[in-house]
Amino acid sequence: MEKKPHFVRREFLPREVSSISLALLLAAVLLLNALVYLYLSKFYNSLGRTEADPSLCPFGHFKLGAVKNCSPWLSCEAINREVRKLKCVGEGAVKKVFLSEWKENKVVLSQLTNSELKEDFLHGLKMLKALQSKHVVRLLGYCEQQFTILTEYHPLGSLSGLNETLHIPKYKGMNTWHHRLMLAIDYVSVIRYLHSSPLGTLVMCDSNDLDKVLSQYLLTSDFHILVNDLDALPLVNRSAGRLVKCGHRELRGEFVAPEQRWPYGEDVPFEDDLMPPYDEKTDIWKIPDVSNFLLGHVEGSDIVRLHLFDIHAACKKKDPAERPSAREVLDTYRKVLTLLIRETAMPGTREML
């Protein structure tokens, strides 16, 4: 009888230690979840950027650099008087782009180069004014009479230069699966915004190949993505039976969605009038290709691709109606980011539990 207490202690001590260890593990998991939540909350609201207006200025106004007060969009007179061209940094089919200076701030001045495309230029200006948000390059001013647009300058340039930027010593620390996935989330966020914009469902038509898509977006110094070129954004209105066609020429290649390709075979010459229209699901088809570029080939990127395999397969459904919405893709991307951050912060937790 005297040995019984000793026997009881030997039998239950391991269980008590096990319970304490489990409690500590659960507490660590709860703390990790709280930290992940705080981190993701900071990410989704980084730099205080709101959906409506990144500069927190009323419509028709902007603030730039360290200036605290909002200024009205610059008029023709103000642009002519206060903006100084420095050098030409690009030229496309519609406009020529100049690095310029306004009150010691670098800015971008875009001017129409082909008078036959002035409607495209003015459409881009209309979209730029109406869609000002954290997803769109900031408008600083414009002059319709002179076909001139003034926007914020981003020194890292278009998204097509991402890999070159990540080889610069200053930005090498950003070349991780984590930051690359956040860029992909930014890209899908832009698509989601365009598909549910204040103007309705807009389709990104300047997207017939990967290089063309990447040239439409800017990479900011704090590693976010902004859409920059809005010249080709037709409106889908299903209730009115209004679909779109991206241009009047035949589109080829695997990058464009199946419904964008000529459906009547090589034996039938292409005719624009016979080409069926389509909707915004063409943008969904292209998401996996753009994301594949953004994810690159760094440690961990293949794991990200594995987690995105199912949603990307759904994006590539031949029937547009079977593809997910941009919102569904975005939700999946965010869930994958959350999951991978948790697994990276505490590997093996699931097995331990």
Q: Does pLDDT of 314 surpass 80?
A: yes
pLDDT for residue 29: 56
Tens-digit pLDDT profile for residues 211-240: 999 999 999 999 999 999 999 999 999 888
| Range list of H helices, the chain | 4-44, 76-82, 118-130, 162-165, 177-195, 210-215, 281-295, 301-307, 309-315, 326-345, 349-352
Give me 280's structure tokens.
Answer: 């915004």
Do residues 107 and 155 touch, judged by C-beta distance below 8 A?
no
Tens-digit pLDDT profile for residues 19-54: 676 666 666 555 655 555 555 555 544 433 456 655
Give me 205's structure tokens.
Answer: 């038509």
Would you list the domain boundaries of the chain? 70-153, 154-346
Which range among 9-18, 125-134, 292-301 shows the weakest confidence by mean pLDDT?
A: 9-18
User: Phi-psi category of 21—alpha, beta or left, where left has phi over 0 and alpha has psi -120 to 50?
Assistant: alpha
CA distance 110 to 14: 74
Residues 6+ apart with CB under 8 A from 29: 346, 349, 353
Pick the CATH number of 70-153 from 1.10.275.10, 3.40.50.2300, 3.30.200.20, 1.20.59.10: 3.30.200.20
Band (350; pLDDT cuts 50, 70, 90) = very low
CA distance 101 to 110: 13
Angle between helical axes of 177-195 and 281-295 (0-180°, round to 10):
160
CATH 1.10.3720.10 is the classification of domain 154-346: no
pTM for this entry: 0.84
